[in-house]
A = this chain, B = another copy of it.
Amino acid sequence: MSSANIESQPLLPERTSLRQQRTINWSIFVPVCLGISLICVGQLVLSVVHNSLGSAETFTEPAHFLSPRPSTANCSLHWFDQRVDHFSTLNTTYAQRYYVHDAFWKRKADGHKADGPILFYCGNEGDVTLYVNNTGLMWENAEALGAALIFAEHRYFGESRPFGANQMQHLAYLTHEQALADYAVLLRAFQTSRNSSSPVIALGGSYGGMLASWFRMKYPGTITGAIAASAPILGFPKGYPEHFTGEKYWQVVTHDATPAAGAAPTCEANVRASWPLLFATAQTETGRRQLGEIFRLCRPLQTAADAETLAMGLLMAWDTMAMGNFPFPSSYLTGGAADLPAYPVRAACDVMATSTNASTLLPAMRDAANLYLNATKDVPCFAWDTQDFDGLWGYVWCSQMLPQESYFDTDGVHDMFWPRSLSFDQVAADCKARWGVSPDPDWIRTSYGDLETMLKATSNIVFSNGGYDPWRSGGVLANPWNPSIAIVDIPEGAHHLDLFFSHKDDPVSVRHARHIELDHIRQWIRTFDA
A89 to B171, CA, bound (A): 8
List 5 contacting pairs A-B, 8 Å CB cutoff, sorted by A.
A88-B173, A91-B438, A184-B447, A221-B453, A457-B459
Known: A87-B178, A177-B87. A221 touches B172 (CB 8 A): no
Please give the distance in Å from A154's CB to the nearest CB on chain B.
15
- Is B91's CB under 8 angstroms from A221's CB? no
* A residues whose Cβ falls under 8 Å from a Cβ of B: 83, 85-91, 171-175, 177-178, 181, 184-185, 188, 192, 197, 217-222, 224, 399, 437-438, 440, 442-443, 445-450, 453-454, 457-459, 528
Query: Which residues on the B side are within 8 Å of A184 (C-beta)?
Result: 446-447
Query: Which residues on the B side are within 8 Å of A188 (C-beta)?
Result: 442, 445-446
A172 to B84, CA, bound (A): 13
- Is A222's CB under 8 angstroms from B88's CB? no
- Is A89's CB under 8 angstroms from B457's CB? no
Having A185-B442, A217-B221, one finds 14 other A-B pairs with CB under 8 Å, namely: A86-B87, A87-B87, A87-B88, A87-B175, A88-B173, A88-B178, A89-B171, A89-B437, A90-B172, A91-B437, A188-B446, A219-B447, A221-B453, A457-B459
What number of copies of this chain does the assembly contain? 2
- Is A219's CB under 8 angstroms from B449's CB? yes
Query: Which residues on the B side are within 8 Å of A221 (C-beta)?
Result: 217, 448-450, 453-454, 457
Please give the distance in Å from A242's CB to the nearest CB on chain B.
11
Name the residue of chain B whose CB is nearest to the CB of A178: B87
A218 to B197, CA, bound (A): 22
Closest CB pairs A-B (n = 5): A221-B449, A220-B457, A221-B454, A88-B172, A188-B446
Please give the distance in Å from A81's CB to the nearest CB on chain B.
12
- Is B89's CB under 8 angstroms from A88's CB? no
Query: Which residues on the B side are within 8 Å of A218 (C-beta)?
Result: 218
Query: Which residues on the B side are within 8 Å of A528 (C-beta)?
Result: 453
Query: Which residues on the B side are within 8 Å of A197 (C-beta)?
Result: 450
> Which residue in B88, B222, B399 is a CB contact (below 8 Å) of A175?
B88
Please give the distance in Å from A90's CB to the nearest CB on chain B.
5
Please give the distance in Å from A197's CB to the nearest CB on chain B.
8
Please give the distance in Å from A465's CB to the nearest CB on chain B.
21
- Is B173's CB under 8 angstroms from A453's CB? no
Please give the distance in Å from A118's CB to the nearest CB on chain B.
13
> Which residue in B224, B453, B458 is a CB contact (below 8 Å) of A222?
B453
